[in-house]
Chain A
Amino acid sequence: MITVTDLRKVYRQGKKEVVALDGVTLSVPKGSIHGIIGHSGAGKSTLVRCLTLLDRPTSGSVSIDGTELSSVRDSEIRAARRRIGMVFQHANLMDSRTAAGNVAHPLELVKTPKDKIRAKVADLLSLVGLEGFENAYPSQLSGGQRQRVGIARALAAEPDVLLCDEPTSALDPATTDEILDLIQDLTKRLQLTVLIITHEMNVVKRVCDSVSLLSKGRIIEHGALKDVAGDLESKLAKALLPLPASEPLKGALQGGPVLEILFAGDNAKEPVLTGVARHFDIDLNVLAGSVETLGGQQFGHLRVQLAENADYDAVLAYLHQRGIGAKLAGTKTTASDAVDLDAVDLDDADLDKTQLGDAAGRNS
């Protein structure tokens, strides 16, 4: 388990002070994967450098299973670093070493006997699915294979925590999925604590158990994936379950109120919409929707338009009563105003809109 408490990092640029991390607190239990998502400039790189002790934090602490890392003396810093294995965006392998040589590198540093190194390296390479590539140089490997070597190397010193800094951002979608599956599999098998720092929501959706949203050096939202995704008000939910921009339909339902509805877990299986239609005897239309399985739970995010005369307060009450997140997204009817969806405004979250779903980009 890794615990970060009120981590602050202030850089000096001449006379100016730049606050890169402004009190980051998070905690990741053993055997789980935590995603830290944020825009470039949000402080992700600084956080990585503070966690690996490449930079000393200005204040605050980083501890693994209760052992404080951030305040160790310089002489103990190397032992402390070995408790965290790190996977880099570009693998950062040594070009002069073979795959086996790269995995052996951390073991050589502590004078491990040669035969032990050989056995351990063979184990690690088969663990990441690279049997038979012992003697290949990084230049002879594909991007995904290089990243596998990088993961094997990160695990060589048997760390408690695996820190992945944009591990898939340089890979194609198919390879990304393979590497994420591998990380997920290793987490379970080796009972690792994994931190994935990324700007890709897809990575969070696929493997993370919990997630933090980092913005301007602060964590502005965090929680288990199924909790944040089920909260209609959270920025992460909007990014996890993005809705495309849509205009209210003209025609039968023109002028009707527009609702945003978020189903989570068991609710996603209920025929709620037809329930509303029958109960209130009104017509309704789905304008946009997104359905995903996140953290093992089904989620549905819908934008629906009701008939003009519908009593939307009653409909909202009906939905809330059944534990379904719902809110009025807009009642404006003219095309120029379209749907008033300030709901999907991610601007203050400082997230890159294109990376976090189109809905934000088109509506703000």
Chain B
Amino acid sequence: MNDIFSNPVLAKALPEAIVETLQMVGISAFFTVLVGLPLGVFLHVTAPGGLRPMPVTNRIMSDVIVNITRSIPFAILMVALIPLARLLTGTSLGPIAASVSLSIGTIPFFARLVETCLRDVHHGKIDAAQVMGSTKMQVINKVMLRESLPALVAATTTTVVTLVGYSAMAGLVGGGGLGKLAYNYGFQRFDVTVMIVTIVLIIVLVQVIQLVGEQIARSLDHR
């Protein structure tokens, strides 16, 4: 136990690593929802039989962009996107630069989850909203998104948890954070204490995200 507090790595590098991990997860979660949610809505609404069918555009978005991005393993996508990160953030190192590839990696994943959530909204509700004279935007906002909100919160929780895992990977290629700490000290220097502490911290982080997400989803669910 004494080891944990006297370990110089933990004392000096750990707080910084925690902040970096939270930054990566926070920033990329923000952009994932910001872009992924509208993308998911678009995929659902433009699908055949949807609110505003656009077969060709939907095909291109769905098959080409989302499926191709999702089929590239994240470790490879991350490295491949380093030039883009440098272009956008001016650097290829640090949590901010890593957030670029993290966001791009999880946006299609989240968009697919959103699409599934919206598909689960009973069609009768959409008919009812249309019959009462809703515009398409009103159907999307007041029915699709509102009725699937508990499911959307659950999807966001899943995505953020995934992001924690990806952020550890991103740490290895310059992102920093707990992943880098565990790799540099725990793996390369055989510092078992650092390894255990980072693992425990990541587990705690994931548990907290899951718990908070479930609580919010439950409080929103009136079914």
Q: Which residues of A contact B (CB under 8 A)?
A: 52, 54, 78-79, 81-82, 84, 86, 88, 90, 92-97, 105-106, 108-110, 137-139, 153, 156-157
| A105 in contact with B132 given A94-B147, A96-B146 (CB within 8 Å) | yes
Contact across chains for B132 and A106 when beta carbons are under 8 A apart: yes
Question: 9 new A-B pairs (CB below 8 Å) besides A94-B142, A94-B147, A156-B132?
Answer: A54-B131, A81-B131, A84-B131, A88-B128, A90-B124, A95-B222, A106-B132, A108-B142, A139-B223
Residues of B at the A interface (CB closer than 8 Å) are: 122, 124-125, 127-135, 138, 142-143, 146-147, 149, 220, 222-223
10 contacts between A and B (CB under 8 A): A79-B133, A81-B132, A86-B131, A88-B124, A92-B125, A94-B142, A95-B222, A96-B147, A139-B223, A153-B132
What is the CA–CA distance of A349 and B97 in the complex, to the nearest angstrom?
71
Cα(A157)–Cα(B135), bound, Å: 15
A94 interface neighbour in B125, B127, B133, B138, Cβ under 8 Å: B125
Chain A residues near B129 (CB-CB < 8 A):
105
User: How far apart are the CA atoms of A84 and B133 in the complex, in Å?
Assistant: 10
Contact of A82 with B132 in the complex, beta carbons under 8 Å: yes
Residues in chain A near residue B220, CB distance under 8 A: 96
Contact B149 A92 (CB under 8 A): no
Nearest CB of chain B from residue A87's CB, rounded to whole Å: 10
Q: Decide: B149 and A52 in contact? CB cutoff 8 A.
A: no
The answer on a CB contact under 8 Å between A95 and B147 is yes
Provide the main secondary structure of the chain B interface: helix
Contact across chains for A139 and B131 when beta carbons are under 8 A apart: no
Residues on the B chain within 8 Å of A97, using CB: 146
Nearest CB to that of B134 among chain A residues?
A109
Q: A78, B133: Cβ atoms under 8 Å?
A: yes
Kindly name the residue among B124, B128, B142, B149 whose own CB sees the greatest number of chain A CB atoms within 10 A.
Answer: B128
Q: A105-B142, A137-B222 are in contact. Are A54 and B130 (CB under 8 A)?
A: yes
Residues of chain A with a CB closer than 8 A to B133's CB: 78-79, 81-82, 106, 109-110, 157
Chain B residue contacts of A157, Cβ below 8 A: 132-133
Q: B146: which A residues are within 8 A, CB to CB?
A: 94, 96-97
**A96-B131 CB under 8 A given contacts A105-B142, A108-B142, A109-B138:** no
Q: What's the nearest-Cβ distance from chain B to residue A196, in Å?
A: 16
The 4 A-B residue pairs whose C-beta atoms are closest, nearest first, are A92-B124, A106-B132, A92-B128, A137-B222
A88-B128, A94-B147 given; A139·B222 CB < 8 A: yes
Whole-angstrom CA separation of A138 from B125 in the bound complex: 13
Measured CB to CB, the closest approach of chain A to B140, in angstroms, equals: 13
Docked CA distance A95–B149 (Å): 11
Complex Cα distance, B128 from A137, in Å, reads 17
In the complex, chain A residues whose CB is within 8 Å of the CB of B149: 96
A268 CB to closest chain B CB (Å) equals 42
The CA of A295 and the CA of B138, in the complex, are separated in Å by 42
Closest beta carbon of chain A to B70's beta carbon, Å: 30
Select from chain A the residue with minimum beta-carbon distance to B125. A92
* CA gap between A94 and B131 in the complex, in Å: 14
What residues on A are CB-neighbors of B147 within 8 Å?
A: 94-96
- Chain A positions within 8 Å of B132 at CB level: 81-82, 86, 105-106, 109, 153, 156-157
Contacts of A93 in B (CB 8 A): 125, 128
CB distance from A96 to the nearest CB of B (A): 5
Please, how many angstroms separate the alpha-carbon atoms of A109 and B140 in the complex? 13
Q: Are B222 and A96 in contact (CB under 8 A)?
A: yes
Q: How far is the CA of A52 from the CA of B184 in the complex (A)?
A: 66
In the complex, what distance in Å separates the CA atom of A95 from the CA atom of B148? 10
In the bound assembly, the distance between CA atoms of A106 and B143 in angstroms comes to 12
If A94-B143, A96-B146, A139-B223 touch, whether A78 touches B128 (CB-CB below 8 Å) is no
Give bound CA distance, A108 to B122, whole Å.
21
Q: Complex Cα distance A153/B124, Å?
A: 14
CB distance from B154 to the nearest CB of A (A): 15
B222, A78: Cβ atoms closer than 8 Å: no
Taking the closest CB of chain B, its distance from the CB of A244, in whole angstroms, is 38
Instruction: Report the Cα distance A224→B130, complex, angstroms.
Output: 32
Chain B residues with CB under 8 Å of A138's CB are: 222
A307 to B128, CA, bound (A): 60
A139 to B128, CA, bound (A): 18
- A86: chain B residues at CB < 8 Å are 128, 131-132
> Which of A90, A94, A106, A156 is most buried by chain B, counting CB atoms within 10 A of its CB?
A94
With a cutoff of 8 Å between Cβ atoms, the chain B residues found around residue A90 in the complex are 124
Q: A137–B150 Cα gap in the complex (Å)? A: 15
Q: How far is the CA of A95 from the CA of B128 in the complex (A)?
A: 13
Chain A residue contacts of B124, Cβ below 8 A: 88, 90, 92
Distance A153 CA – B128 CA, assembled complex (angstroms): 10
Roughly how many angstroms separate A137 CA and B223 CA in the complex, as a whole number?
8
Do residues B125 and A78 form an inter-chain contact, with CB atoms below 8 A?
A: no
